[in-house]
A and B are shown apart, each in its own frame.
Chain A
Amino acid sequence: MSAAVAARGLGKRYRRRVALDDCNLSIPEGHVVGLVGPNGAGKTTLLHLAVGLLAPTSGSIEVLGRPPAADAAQLGRVGFVAQETPVYARMTVEDHLRVGAWTNPGWDRALARRRIDELDLDPRQAAGALSGGQRAQLALTLAVAKRPELLLLDEPVASLDPLARRDFLKSLMAFVADGGTSVVLSSHLVGDLERVCDYLVVLVASHVVLAGETEALLASHRRLTGSRRERASLPSAFEVVEESHTDRQSTFVVRTHGPVLDPGLASEELGLEDLVLAYMGRATSTARRRRPDLTVAS
């Protein structure tokens, strides 16, 4: 089975700015992947490279085993919902569906129609008059009705209120349950994705800092708390992701597969959000260390 998205040494540089640097990824098919990172980390760039809207400046990327946008057939296999879920304001809902049918050979007319009915959208309404949630649902309808094997969504819920956000994710998951589509959706908030993702890619400052199946990631990380100690005193099987100290206490987030045997260390499981924040914190402090002109008070 080919990977949904595979990147080797992938990089993208705009004139002066590095947007993505040396990304290596191999995301298996059949997952709902959360692409998480702070604003400006390179999420949109990575998605645009995967859709073929951008070309890499170094390395390579393949989606579903082939270069992005290689030909019409490849375009039909990948659905994309861009940030802010753009629609044509002056065109009606019906017009959108018609354009979708014209431009996509694999268009599923019945699915599109059913979704518009379920969403209770008036086909004659101009898309510009739809609410944010309805607009997002229309954009999702256009993307899923082409029956893609891979669906990429850039911050699809960021601008939605909580109810519309939940409704959107329900629709998306119902589509995934229907059959075998791989999904990659980006967000700067882990909380948005926690329930729906079974695979996580964390992007910070142009680098992939963590990638893997959510459950395996959660199972292999622990938060350790104990009396103040140095990182060197921990067993070598523990890879320290994050540490913080007060005058008396030390707290570590570690990656390990072994048990925690030291009775002086309390070991806790981490939630997905804490796990991601630990990696983000580490990546930003490393970035700071790379800049010698900036001294960090410790």
Chain B
Amino acid sequence: MIEFHLDPRSGVAPYLQLVHQVRQALRLGILRPGDQLPTVKEVVASVAINPNTVLKAYRELEHDGLVAARPGVGTFVSGTLAAVPVASHGPLRRDLERWLAKARRAGLDEESIEALFRSTFRSAAHEDIA
């Protein structure tokens, strides 16, 4: 079983925060196929959110094939998310280092690099959803 939490200042819709937390738990192996997710009532009674928010998150996870609802019983993990193998981190990190060097040559300081990364990451994440 996992426990949800919400960050009201993150700017991410609450249902997406729940979705991300399940995906994260799957990636880390905290949740495995067959595990039960907390019931809607359990979630709302622990984080004080609208039940429809939880239903929406569970529907999205179901749509992605990660969980399955058994009527009258609960929602269970039915899929897995392969963890990204650490071996692939190396080349990605080298790409990123090259890009960082380029950004500094272009005159960006640390703050503008972070801002650029965050806004690009956000808009890319947004396109993924749409």
Q: Give A residues with C-beta under 8 Å from B.
A: 32, 166, 169-171, 173-174, 176-178, 191, 194-198, 215, 269, 271
Contact = CB atoms under 8 A, between A and B. Distances in A.
* A interface, over-half SS: helix
Contacts of A191: 8
Contacts of B44: 170, 173-174, 176-177
Q: Report which residue of A196, A197, A271 has the largest number of chain B beta carbons within 10 angstroms of its beta carbon.
A: A196
Contact of A178 (B41, B46, B48, B52): B41
B78 interface: no
A177 B53 CA distance: 11
Contacts of A176: 44, 50-51
Residues of B contacting A: mostly: helix
Closest 10 CB pairs of A and B: A173-B44, A177-B51, A169-B48, A174-B45, A177-B41, A170-B48, A195-B49, A177-B44, A198-B50, A170-B45
28 contacts: A32-B50, A32-B52, A166-B48, A170-B44, A170-B45, A170-B47, A171-B45, A173-B44, A173-B45, A173-B48, A173-B49, A173-B50, A173-B51, A174-B44, A176-B44, A176-B50, A177-B44, A177-B51, A178-B41, A191-B8, A194-B8, A195-B8, A195-B47, A195-B50, A195-B53, A196-B49, A198-B50, A198-B53
A94 to B, nearest CB: 25
Contacts of A195: 6, 8, 14, 47-50, 53
Contacts of A32: 50, 52
Interface of B: 6, 8, 11, 13-14, 40-41, 44-54
A174 B41 contact: yes
Contacts of B45: 170-171, 173-174, 177
A204 B84 CA distance: 51
Given A170-B45, A174-B41, A178-B41, A198 B8 contact: no
Nearest to A266: B119
A85 to B, nearest CB: 17
A197 B47 CA distance: 13
A169 B6 CA distance: 14
B50 A271 contact: no
Residue among B14, B46, B50, B53 having the largest count of chain A Cβ atoms under 10 Å: B50
